[in-house]
């Protein structure tokens, strides 16, 4: 989604190498400025971002890790504005009403369908109101979309007043116990007083929970400008950027919320009904910082990991039954996948963890040989049940494996850490806990895999 920006971040980060190199920092900031502007980040946002990054880096000491942390934090600051994220249901009434607004051709009707589809997949009862009576084919277009995604579309034959349509639609949605009513409206320019007044009247007639402004990302900075005007004239609660799959440079998504003070809620990434992505600032920051590798990771693992085996192991881990046989199998798998460090670096937000486990040294085959030597000196019972290993059994293992006592203890400790970590990660929300823990332990670690 942000390939160009991410690539340029990586090149900028490569420019900072040494501690306390003020010149390197100003070069890097200069380079960042160029790419922000080149990829359509608003110039005011760019200025603020750079100031934040420079200040934060200086405060924590110039260096690659601190620069990265400053970049990540500053992006997160800029992307996060007051307001809702994703789709939010009304807290006070069973029906959530959303008014879709925007210029003609921005993608309102398509996005209305996408949202309906998104909600339907979440088992919501959705009604779409066809309130674009300006264009002849508008109602027909919506009917087709509705049929395709199997969501009901409300329309009134031969009605020319959209206020009437939305009032009837709202009544139907209430009476029919719908969860969400999405109101698709005609495209209009903010300078068209008459149509803007009509929109205000629609707003008053149905008191929507939220008003979304649908903006075409291909219009670049105009997407931001028009959103600001709609915010001033009507009041909007969220922006949806469409056509992000096209030739957009991506930067609009970075500065839009910062400039409009309205959260960017969704991004349209194609013409199909499923081409809608929730815009959650922190997730976006991870992607910006190079989390694109997650796809590579999925590819790698799906190609090499035996799914059935993986499920078995997960079950064991959850039950706390992870043993030495599993451990050795896992190690072999990791070896097949490549270095542990590079794999962890592919998981968004987890790259800081790579250095945490360097003492486990999976890359080093000597280490792996030792682990194997140790495990092969164990009795089958010991392999199945790690808790059996008391002092006298450990002494036997030292003799049998040809390893030193220190080496044996080190490996056993690694095993216990690995199984603890695995258990934690396999629990519900465990990945999040893990990330949080790692972030705290290791807050200055680089987030971009290098």
Ligand X SMILES: Nc1nc2c(ncn2[C@@H]2O[C@H](COP(=O)(O)OP(=O)(O)O)[C@@H](O)[C@H]2O)c(=O)[nH]1
Applying CB under 6 A, the residues found at the interface with ligand X are 102, 104-110, 187, 242-243, 245-246, 268-271, 275
**Residues whose CB is less than 8 angstroms from the CB of residue 427 and which lie 6 or more positions away in sequence, other chains included:** 318, 433
| 110 lies in the site for Mg ion, by CB under 5 A | no
Given ligand X, Mg ion, none, residue 56, with its beta carbon under 5 to 8 Å by kind, binds none
| 109 lies in the site for Mg ion, by CB under 5 A | yes
- Cβ at position 87, least distance to Mg ion in Å: 20
For 113, 181, 392, 419, the CA distances from 120, given in Å and listed in that order, are: 10, 12, 62, 39
Given Mg ion, ligand X, none, residue 106, with its beta carbon under 5 to 8 Å by kind, binds ligand X
- Cβ at position 284, least distance to ligand X in Å: 16
Q: Where are the alpha helices (DSSP H) in 80-220?
A: 108-121, 138-149, 162-175, 193-206
DSSP string, 275-329: -EEE--HHHHHHHHTTTTHHHHHHHHHHHHS-HHHHHHHHHHHHHT---HHHHHH
Pick between residue 100 and residue 228 the one whose CB is nearest to ligand X.
100
Per CB under 5 A, which region of 22-30, 38-46, 104-112, 254-262 contacts Mg ion?
Answer: 104-112
CA separation for the pair 213, 101 (Å, rounded): 5
For 337, 376, 422, 443, the CA distances from 372, given in Å and listed in that order, are: 18, 6, 20, 34
For the sheet containing 264-268, what is the strand order? 152-154, 126-131, 180-185, 96-102, 210-216, 238-242, 264-268, 276-278
- Cβ at position 137, least distance to ligand X in Å: 9
Pick between residue 269 and residue 446 the one whose CB is nearest to ligand X.
269
- Cβ at position 268, least distance to ligand X in Å: 3
For ligand X, the nearest residue by Cβ is 268
Beta bridge pairs of residue 213: 101, 239
CA separation for the pair 90, 350 (Å, rounded): 35
**In b/e form, how buried is each residue of 285-303, taking b as 16+ CB within 10 angstroms?**
bbbbbbbbbeeebeebeee
Pick between residue 33 and residue 114 the one whose CB is nearest to ligand X.
114
Pick between residue 215 and residue 403 the one whose CB is nearest to ligand X.
215
Pick between residue 16 and residue 145 the one whose CB is nearest to ligand X.
145
Pick between residue 134 and residue 201 the one whose CB is nearest to ligand X.
134
- Cβ at position 306, least distance to Mg ion in Å: 49
Given Mg ion, ligand X, none, residue 435, with its beta carbon under 5 to 8 Å by kind, binds none
Query: Cα–chain-centroid distance for residue 206?
Result: 33
Given ligand X, Mg ion, none, residue 430, with its beta carbon under 5 to 8 Å by kind, binds none
Per CB under 5 A, which region of 78-86, 102-110, 214-222, 232-240 contacts Mg ion?
Answer: 102-110
Size of the site for Mg ion (CB under 5 A): 2
Query: Cα–chain-centroid distance for residue 332?
Result: 31
- Cβ at position 264, least distance to ligand X in Å: 14
- Cβ at position 249, least distance to ligand X in Å: 15
CA dihedral 105, 110, 116, 120 (to 10 degrees): -170
- Cβ at position 178, least distance to Mg ion in Å: 21
| Among candidate residues 257, 251, 288, 253, the one with its CA nearest the CA of residue 37 | 251
Pick between residue 6 and residue 134 the one whose CB is nearest to ligand X.
134
Judge contact between 316 and 383, C-beta under 8 A.
no
Pick between residue 49 and residue 142 the one whose CB is nearest to ligand X.
142
Where along the sequence are the contacts to Mg ion (CB under 5 A)? 108-109
């Amino acid at each position: 989604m942000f390939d160009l920006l991410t690539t340029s971040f990586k090149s900028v980060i490569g420019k900072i190498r040494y501690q306390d190199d003020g010149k390197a920092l100003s070069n890097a900031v200069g380079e960042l400025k160029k790419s922000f502007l080149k990829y359509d980040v608003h110039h005011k946002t760019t200025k603020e971002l750079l100031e934040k990054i420079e200040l934060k880096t200086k405060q924590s000491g110039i260096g690659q890790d601190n620069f990265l942390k400053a970049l990540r934090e500053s992006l997160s600051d800029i992307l996060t504005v007051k307001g809702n994220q994703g789709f939010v249901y009304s807290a006070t009434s069973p029906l959530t009403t959303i008014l879709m607004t925007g210029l003609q051709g921005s993608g309102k009707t398509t996005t209305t369908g996408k949202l309906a589809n998104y909600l339907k997949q979440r088992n919501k009862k959705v009604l779409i109101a066809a309130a674009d009576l300006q264009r002849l084919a508008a109602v027909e277009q919506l009917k087709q979309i509705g049929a395709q995604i199997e969501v009901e579309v409300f329309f009134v034959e031969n009605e020319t007043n959209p206020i009437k349509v939305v009032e009837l639609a709202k009544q139907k949605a209430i009476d029919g116990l719908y969860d969400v009513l999405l109101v698709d409206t005609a495209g209009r320019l903010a300078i068209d007083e008459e149509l803007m007044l009509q929109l205000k009247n629609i707003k008053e007639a149905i008191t929507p929970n939220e008003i979304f402004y649908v903006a075409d990302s291909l219009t670049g900075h105009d997407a931001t400008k028009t959103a600001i005007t709609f915010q001033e004239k009507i009041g909007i609660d969220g922006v949806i950027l469409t056509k992000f799959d096209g030739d957009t440079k991506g930067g609009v998504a970075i500065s839009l919320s910062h400039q409009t003070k309205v959260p960017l809620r969704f991004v349209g990434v194609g013409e199909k009904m499923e081409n809608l992505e929730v815009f959650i600032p922190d997730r976006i920051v991870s992607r910006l910082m190079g989390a694109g590798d997650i796809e590579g990771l999925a590819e790698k693992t799906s190609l090499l990991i035996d799914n059935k085996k993986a499920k078995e192991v997960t079950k064991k881990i959850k039950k706390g039954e992870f043993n030495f046989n599993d451990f050795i199998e896992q190690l072999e798998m990791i070896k097949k996948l490549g270095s542990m460090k590079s794999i962890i670096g592919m998981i968004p937000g987890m790259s800081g963890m790579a250095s945490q486990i360097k003492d486990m040294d999976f890359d080093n085959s000597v280490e792996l040989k030792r682990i194997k030597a140790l495990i092969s000196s164990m009795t089958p019972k010991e392999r199945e049940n790690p808790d059996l290993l008391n002092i006298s059994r450990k002494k036997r293992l030292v003799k049998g494996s040809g390893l030193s006592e220190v080496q044996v203890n080190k490996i056993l400790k690694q095993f216990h850490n690995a199984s603890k970590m695995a258990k934690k990660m396999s629990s519900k929300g465990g990945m999040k806990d893990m990330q949080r823990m790692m972030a705290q332990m290791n807050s200055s670690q680089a987030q971009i895999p290098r």
